[in-house]
Amino acid sequence: MESMVATKSQEEQWMVQDQVFRIYDLICNLPPHAQSVNFEIRRDNHVEYLTKSLKQLGPNFAVLDANRPWLCYWIIHSIALMGDGVDDKLENDVVEFLNRCQDLNGGYGGGPGQMPHLATTYAAVNTLITVGGDISLSSINRKNIYEFFLRMKDKSGGFRMHDGGEIDVRACYTAISVASVLNILDDRLIENVGDYISSCQTYEGGIAGEPGSEAHGGYTFCGLAAMVLINDVHRLNLPSLINWVVFRQGVECGFQGRTNKLVDGCYSFWQGGTAAIIQRLHLIVNKQLGLPYAFKHGSSVETGKCSADSDFADRDQVSEGASSPVNDVCRLEQEGAGISNASHPMELTKNGDNFIRGHICMRPLFNSMALQQYILLCSQEEAGFRDKPGKHRDHYHTCYVLSGLSICHYIGIQNADSPPLPRDILGPYSNLLEPVHPLYNIVLDKYYEAHEFFVRSQL
């Protein structure tokens, strides 16, 4: 019998596994003090790298000319995650630059004079919210953005990325996310979006970019977050989505974006953020599984609030006959009758405020310590973060690796007002990052500031 010939994908997978395991073995064999140094976030180095990049980039970045608002977002958000900021002059320069990217007819282009695009509009708005302050927030022309979104709205229910551009789940998310955080989300923008996104959920459980395509981590996050923001998340098959996302964490400890693909640091957020969102949807998950909704000790079904001891009878015990991770992560203490047949067991708001303030009564869907290990040992460079060993650092991966690390730090807490415990943080407690709003990927304090500003501001 002839021996099997390895595919190119298998060879690449084995190579990455070998590189990752070599790093783990090397660190494991170091003396304790040397080990601990490798588990520290090189915060000062990262901030210096990012700040320099905001001031000046080399000629190789010319290919990203249409992505300059994204560079602003990746850099400013990364710095904010580490609890730092840039000086007033740089902040003012960023606001002034993005204002020049704002089209007179609504939306932001990739640079001054470029056509408005939903992706760069999302990046620009998130950047201005992260900079914060009245000057930055008031520079956003919400009325024109709303009109731009209406023009991008397609009869299918989805959105086009730009005039004449592609329709996909990413476009739906960027439009809905921006409209939500700017307090301009209404029924005209929401109309049939749920139809389009639900049609993109695949047989695997994840969400594709468009109907008929392959489930993908980035699109799954976008689709799930958008469905939460429009109060249509109950239309997704959440148990199936859970099954898909939990199997995306590989033997390397990091996440892959698609089935049988290589681990990539950026999915620390795209998949980790998906898990963080699902944790707050336990009532809807239970309804889809046909499980009772009430918790022990008189906890409130309406708000999803539960006491610390009403989560799981035994977190390590799988229900009898369980055949999937869903039965493990979703089996709650059962008590009496279930909730009514309301379409939304947990009513959400279109600004995401109640969503983040709610209690979490579902077990984390991934191994946070393992993911933190991959991030700190395999993604972190002396300054900046990378996709995987053998790759080079870049601003995109620095942003989403740090965002994923923040998700890790807060994934185990049940109450949004409670700080993580030392046991939640791999390495010293000084590694703790700022929390992000999982629906928008904006640092939480910056989100609250913007939310209050846009609620009280006239359109």
Q: Out of 168, 328, 387, 424, which one is annotated catalytic?
A: 387
52 carries an active-site annotation? no
261 carries an active-site annotation? yes
Tokens for 414, please give them: 């049940």
264 carries an active-site annotation? yes
Question: Residue 442 pairs with which residues in a beta bridge?
Answer: 437
Q: Out of 172, 222, 266, 399, which one is annotated catalytic?
A: 266
Q: Out of 151, 235, 261, 305, which one is annotated catalytic?
A: 261
Burial 210-243 (b: 16+ CB within 10 A, else e): bbeeebbbbbbbbbbbbbbbbbbbbbbebbbbbb
103 carries an active-site annotation? no
Q: Out of 234, 280, 397, 437, which one is annotated catalytic?
A: 397
142 carries an active-site annotation? no
Task: Give the distance, in angstroms, between the CA of residue 397 and the centroid of all CA atoms in the same chain.
Answer: 13
Q: Out of 49, 73, 196, 267, which one is annotated catalytic?
A: 267
Q: Out of 46, 77, 153, 216, which one is annotated catalytic?
A: 216
In whole angstroms, what is the distance from residue 389 CA to residue 377 CA? Answer: 9
Q: Out of 168, 232, 264, 328, which one is annotated catalytic?
A: 264
394 carries an active-site annotation? yes
CA torsion, ordered 53, 59, 63, 66, to nearest 10 deg = 60
Cβ proximity of 157 and 117 under 8 Å:
no
φ, ψ for residue 359 (rounded to 5)? -85, 155
397 carries an active-site annotation? yes
Cβ proximity of 161 and 170 under 8 Å:
yes
Q: How many CB atoms lie within 10 A of CB 297?
A: 11
The per-type count for the chain, helices as H runs and strands as E runs, is 20, 2
Q: Out of 46, 258, 350, 446, which one is annotated catalytic?
A: 258
Tokens for 218, please give them: 């980035």
Burial 382-419 (b: 16+ CB within 10 A, else e): ebbbbbbbeeebebbbbbbbbbbbbbbbbbbbbebeee
Q: Which of 273, 265, 268, 272 is nearest to 378 (CA)?
A: 265
Cβ neighbours for 192, distance < 8 A, ≥ 6 positions apart: 156, 157
Cβ proximity of 231 and 347 under 8 Å:
yes
387 carries an active-site annotation? yes
Q: Out of 93, 154, 394, 445, which one is annotated catalytic?
A: 394
Largest separation between any pair of C-alpha atoms in the chain: 75
Tokens for 427, please give them: 């390495």
Gyration radius (Cα) of the chain, Å: 22
Cβ proximity of 279 and 365 under 8 Å:
yes
266 carries an active-site annotation? yes
- Active site (catalytic) residues: 216, 258, 261, 264, 266-267, 387, 394, 397
